Amino acid sequence: MIGGLKRACLIGGLALGLGSSAHAGSSLFRVCFEEWEPYAYIGPDHKIQGISVDILRKAAEGKGWRLDFQAMPYARCVKEVEAGKRDIKLFANPDEMPGLPRVATSTEYWMVAAVVHNSAPLDQYRDIQQFSGFQVGRVNGYEMPEPIASFRDWKEILAPGPEENLKLIHHQRIDATFLDLMWAERKITSLNLKLKVLRPLVVLMPQVSVLAPNRAHEAEQLENEIKSLFRRGDIDRIYRQHTGHDLKSWLKLAGRSDAK
């Protein structure tokens, strides 16, 4: 996941972390994910890092579990967890992969926001109708949520990736795009682009972790560990370490305070 949006393909799998999936046991959890900075991604040092990685490591520490992380395309991660080849899939919408055990307590939110050029007359998001007649960048293969998915009164321009859409807006070749707020703001700053992210959010969608069919008992244990991390303030500490703000502050900055 880049920009917090589901993508059909991304990169070849890169195994990093603790343990080996070839010797999986009850205490070894093989975790797959599609990259989504700052939650789980491969850093410049080729190590897997991020908010969600640190949260899961902290939770696993409390149970004595070992973790093996692997970045892979979204669809492949789904198939491997469904088949029991991987034990945990990070970053799923609540209605995805029905019937499989899951950790329903969300530690990440897909904060979908509109991005426009600094010179655009829009200063805040009110409703999707604001973008009528716009040329809107969409990444090929991304599945957009409502109300974006069914809106038709604009011209969609396909691009191979979210970063390309940001650059197209910067050069005023398209008018807008919709991306994860935290990812977009970090990328706009790092690339020094003349763009603004509108508040409040278009969509706020909690993300869940889904486990393999034979991991139902561990899903309940992991759920309890995550809840314990919230109570102890560990989730907020990890968010502050990576972003300078705790989770609740991010949701308020995004114009939403109705998350758990």
Residue 251: other Cβ atoms inside 10 A: 20
The domain covering 110-203 belongs, at the CATH homologous superfamily level, to: Periplasmic binding protein-like II (3.40.190.10)
Higher pLDDT, residue 84 or 251: 84
Please state the rounded mean pLDDT for residues 140-165: 90
Is the pLDDT score of 12 beyond 80? no
Pairing of the two strands 195-197 and 203-211: unpaired
Are the C-beta atoms of 35 and 42 separated by less than 8 Å?
yes
Beta pairing, strands 176-180 & 135-139: parallel
CA 3 to chain centre: 7
Q: Predicted confidence band at 252 (pLDDT cuts at 50, 70, 90)?
A: confident
* Contact by Cβ (8 Å): 77, 34: yes
pLDDT at 211: 98
Domain extents for the chain? 14-109+207-253, 110-203
| pLDDT recorded at residue 161 | 85
DSSP state of 74: H
Q: Please tell me the least confidently modeled range out of 19-23, 183-187, 221-225.
A: 19-23
Same fold, 14-109+207-253 and 110-203: yes
Give the residue carrying structure tokens 């890092």: 49
Beta strands (DSSP E) in the chain are: 14-17, 28-33, 41-42, 48-49, 66-71, 88-92, 102-117, 135-139, 155-159, 176-180, 195-197, 203-211
Instruction: Compute the Cα dihedral for 81, 59, 180, 193 and give only its sign.
Output: negative
**Whether the predicted pLDDT of 24 surpasses 70:** no
Give the residues across from 70 on adjacent strands.
15, 32
For domain 14-109+207-253, say whether CATH 3.40.190.10 is its number: yes
Mean pLDDT of 70-85: 95
What is the distance between the alpha carbons of residues 106 and 217, in angstroms, rounded to a whole number?
A: 18
Q: How far apart are alpha carbons 243 and 251 in whole angstroms? A: 13
pLDDT tens digits, 214-233: 999 999 999 999 999 999 99
H or E, element range at 111: strand 102-117
C-beta separation of 68 from 29 below 8 A: yes
> How much is the pLDDT for 41?
95
**pLDDT digit string (tens) for 27-58?**
899 999 999 999 999 999 999 999 999 999 99
Distances, alpha carbon 41 to alpha carbons 11, 33, 47, 247, in Å = 12, 9, 8, 19
